[in-house]
């Protein structure tokens, strides 16, 4: 979906929706004290530990740690993406979604924007129709598809077409009023003042989004030559961001359990022809975390299918790294490596549905594949064990805390015969190069992180930070402190926790903030004197500021101005 939803609108939406009413629509909420309770929809339980807080416009599960604002709930519960969730909520409360002004900066009416997109989708659909017609008329293209083993039925199902070898197919087809749009869609290019078609003498594979709209095209040369790439995809356009889309997703969503990730369009199509309709292809790139996130929204089990050669192994390793940060809850990732000379297309054609499914059944779980990479290490020696632990460390740090991570640690324990508790302690050390430290227990929180936990729990605490301290903290120039100050400002504007979470959604701070949220539970239990605790954090940070300032002044001691000398002495005196 193109175009960005206006940020102010999102804030407005979260302010206007009542999270209790919204969630009550899906779960049976019961009032207990200030909160509402239900059995958690995100994990199996018999006694309710899922609470909804009307003041903070926030939900949290004490059992599995799920939590967030209204939008997050709809995304997780209804398995929608962000834009879909916003639309869902806007519909429920009867307001119209507002998009950001377009690039030229002019604010356009919403409807006009929507029409603009609609026109682009329509042009893509018309182009696809034209290509399909051309396929019907081209014996050459039909022969090629037959020779690849495609039936007419599956070709129709995937909307396969043919772009004839001319330079002006679409240009002649569409009135010149539409040429600018063809250009925006990457279907034509401009050169020396004249336009020409991008797809020529190619089999055309339309690329659909999940709502079955054509967002782009892939094209394969019928007769590959040295002058042009064999495969060509539409460039990035306002309808198409390659790293966020997969080919075949509109069919694959019919299976809610498992999806098989393959490399090419032809793999997806051949598998579908043999009744395997849960595969998708990445679009000529390594599988990105964004693509995997998209897939995990609908299924719990992703199987990567790669060639058995070196390139396939390397691609699998990259896929593993993209997948690690997403491995939580019941999610699973596994790998299949096909015998040399086979791809899914040729395999399913030679061995049928059963043969291919057998291969999938033997997929290597991610943890096994991970440790397989280190099988040359001699684990009977201390050196070998140390090396293994060091190599696995950066990978483990990508994994969210949870069952999957525990599983990998278990495996590591078995391999090295070193106790898990020791390994876990070793791995919980934050990586040194990272600005934003991962959080695993309250004890390990930095001062700024502690401050954030307090503030997110009780926004009135912002009153404890006076202008004087604020100015000092700003000068610390630490990323986490800056984040803390951002949150202070948001609290001053009386934003609810729901709005604050939204403010940081999809920013580099989102992971840290979501790691900090569960610590609120600890606060509720410990019953700390929060004002004092928060003031202590501020004092600590001011102290850091003085320390830093002292070092700076100390360095240029002989050249200090009169004011600076006084400041230096004051810091010295205060110790
Ligand atoms: Zn839960």
How high is the pLDDT of residue 440?
45
Sign of CA dihedral 99, 102, 108, 111: negative
How many distinct helices (H) and strands (E) make up the chain? 26, 16
Q: Is the pLDDT of residue 404 over 50?
A: yes
How high is the pLDDT of residue 46?
85
Separation of CA 273 and ligand 1 centre (Å): 40
Separation of CA 257 and ligand 1 centre (Å): 20
Separation of CA 486 and ligand 1 centre (Å): 29
CATH 3.90.980.10 residue spans of the chain: 110-240
Least confident of 17-26, 445-454, 555-564: 555-564
Q: Which residue has the tokens 């009169």?
A: 562
- Which residues does 62 contact at the CB level (< 8 Å), separation at least 6? 49, 50, 51, 521
Query: What is the reported pTM?
Result: 0.60
Q: Is the pLDDT of residue 148 over 90?
A: yes
How high is the pLDDT of residue 30?
92
CATH 3.40.1360.10 residue spans of the chain: 249-362
Between 202 and 227, whose confidence is greater?
Answer: 202
SS3 199: coil
> Are 57 and 46 within 8 A, CB to CB?
no
Q: DSSP characters for 254-299?
A: T-SSEEEEES-HHHHHHHHHTT---EEE-SSSPPPHHHHHHHHTT-
| Segment 160-193, tens digit of pLDDT | 999 999 999 999 999 988 999 999 999 999 888 8
Separation of CA 21 and ligand 1 centre (Å): 19
Q: How confident is the model at residue 101 (pLDDT cuts 50, 70, 90)?
A: low
Separation of CA 377 and ligand 1 centre (Å): 40
Sequence length of the chain is 575
How high is the pLDDT of residue 421?
63
Q: Is the pLDDT of residue 120 over 50?
A: yes
As assigned by CATH, the class of the 7-93 domain is alpha beta
DSSP state, 101?
A: P
How high is the pLDDT of residue 527?
54
How high is the pLDDT of residue 429?
45
Separation of CA 37 and ligand 1 centre (Å): 12
Is the backbone of residue 324 left (phi > 0), alpha (psi -120 to 50) or beta? alpha
CATH 3.90.580.10 residue spans of the chain: 7-93
- Residue 281: count other Cβ atoms within 10 Å of its Cβ: 27
CATH topology of domain 442-574: DNAb Helicase; Chain A (1.10.860)
Least confident of 87-91, 425-429, 440-444, 553-557: 425-429
Q: Which residue has the tokens 């309250």?
A: 442
Structure tokens at 86: 């916003």
CATH number among 3.40.1360.10, 2.60.40.10, 3.40.50.200, 3.10.20.600, domain 249-362: 3.40.1360.10
How high is the pLDDT of residue 260?
95
Structure tokens at 553: 């002044």
Separation of CA 62 and ligand 1 centre (Å): 7
Sign of CA dihedral 559, 561, 562, 565: negative
Structure tokens at 400: 């969210």
Q: By C-alpha distance, which of 286, 294, 171, 283 is closest to 233?
A: 283
Separation of CA 370 and ligand 1 centre (Å): 29
Sign of CA dihedral 520, 332, 288, 43: negative
How high is the pLDDT of residue 338?
93
As assigned by CATH, the class of the 374-427 domain is mainly alpha
> Are 17 and 23 within 8 A, CB to CB?
no
- Which residues does 166 contact at the CB level (< 8 Å), separation at least 6? 197, 200
Least confident of 92-106, 135-149, 259-273, 342-356: 92-106
Q: How confident is the model at residue 417 (pLDDT cuts 50, 70, 90)?
A: confident
Q: How far apart are CA 204 and CA 352, in angstroms?
A: 26
Q: 110-240 — its CATH code?
A: 3.90.980.10
Partners of residue 333 on adjacent β-strands: 302
Separation of CA 508 and ligand 1 centre (Å): 25
Interior angle at CA 81, CA 79 and CA 85, nearest 5: 85
Q: How far apart are CA 262 and CA 284, in angstroms?
A: 11
Q: Which long-range contacts (CB under 8 A, 24 or more apart) does 81-85 make?
A: 81/1, 81/294, 81/297, 82/505, 82/506, 83/1, 83/5, 84/1
How high is the pLDDT of residue 523?
66
């Amino acid at each position: 979906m193109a175009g960005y939803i206006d940020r102010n609108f999102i804030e407005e939406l979260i302010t206007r929706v009542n999270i209790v009413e919204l969630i009550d629509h899906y779960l049976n909420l019961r009032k207990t004290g200030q909160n509402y309770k239900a059995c958690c929809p995100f994990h199996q339980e018999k006694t309710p530990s899922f609470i909804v807080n009307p003041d903070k416009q926030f939900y949290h599960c004490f059992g599995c740690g799920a939590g967030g604002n209204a939008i997050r709930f709809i995304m997780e519960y209804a398995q929608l993406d962000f834009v879909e969730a916003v639309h869902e909520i806007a519909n429920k409360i009867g307001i119209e979604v507002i998009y950001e002004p377009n690039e030229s900066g002019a604010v356009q009416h919403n409807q006009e924007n929507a029409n603009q997109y609609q026109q682009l989708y329509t042009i893509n659909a018309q182009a696809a129709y034209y290509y399909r017609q051309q396929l019907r008329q081209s014996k050459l293209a039909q022969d090629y598809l037959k020779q690849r083993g495609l039936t007419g039925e599956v070709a129709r199902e995937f909307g396969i077409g043919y772009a004839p070898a001319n330079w002006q197919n679409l240009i002649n087809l569409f009135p010149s009023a539409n040429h600018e749009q063809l250009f925006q869609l990457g279907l034509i290019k401009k050169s020396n003042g004249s336009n020409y078609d991008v797809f020529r003498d190619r089999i055309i594979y339309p690329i659909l989004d999940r709502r079955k709209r054509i967002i782009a095209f892939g094209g394969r040369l019928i007769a590959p030559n040295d002058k042009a790439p064999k495969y060509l995809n539409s460039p990035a356009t306002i309808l198409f961001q390659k790293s966020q889309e997969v080919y075949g997703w509109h069919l694959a969503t019919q299976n809610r359990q498992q999806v098989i990730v393959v490399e090419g369009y032809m793999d997806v199509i051949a598998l579908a022809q043999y009744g395997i309709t849960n595969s998708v292809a990445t679009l000529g790139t390594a599988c990105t975390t964004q693509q995997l996130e998209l897939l995990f929204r609908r299924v719990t089990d992703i199987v990567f299918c790669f060639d058995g050669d070196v390139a396939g192994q390397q691609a699998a390793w990259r896929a593993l790294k993209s997948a690690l940060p997403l491995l939580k809850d019941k999610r699973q990732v596994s790998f299949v490596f096909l015998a040399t000379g086979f791809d899914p297309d040729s395999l399913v054609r030679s061995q049928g549905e059963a043969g291919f499914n057998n291969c999938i059944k033997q997929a290597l779980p991610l943890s096994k594949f991970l440790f397989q990479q280190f099988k040359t290490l001699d684990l009977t020696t201390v050196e070998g064990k140390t090396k293994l632990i060091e190599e696995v460390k950066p990978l483990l740090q990508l994994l969210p805390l949870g069952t999957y991570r525990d599983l990998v640690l278990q495996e590591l324990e078995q391999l090295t015969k070193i106790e898990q508790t020791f390994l876990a302690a070793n791995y919980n050390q934050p990586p040194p190069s990272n600005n934003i430290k991962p959080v695993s227990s309250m004890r390990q929180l930095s001062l700024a992180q502690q401050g954030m936990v307090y503030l997110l729990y009780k926004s009135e605490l912002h009153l404890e930070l006076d202008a004087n301290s604020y100015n000092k903290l700003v000068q610390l120039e630490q990323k986490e402190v800056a984040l803390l100050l951002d949150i202070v400002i948001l609290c001053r504007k009386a934003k609810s926790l729901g709005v604050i979470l939204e403010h940081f959604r999809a920013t580099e701070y989102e992971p840290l903030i979501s790691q900090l949220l569960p610590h609120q539970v600890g606060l509720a239990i410990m019953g700390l004197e929060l004002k004092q605790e928060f003031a202590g954090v501020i004092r600590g940070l001011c102290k850091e500021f003085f320390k830093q300032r002292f070092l700076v002044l100390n360095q240029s001691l002989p050249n200090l101005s009169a004011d600076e000398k006084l400041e230096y002495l004051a810091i010295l005196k205060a110790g």
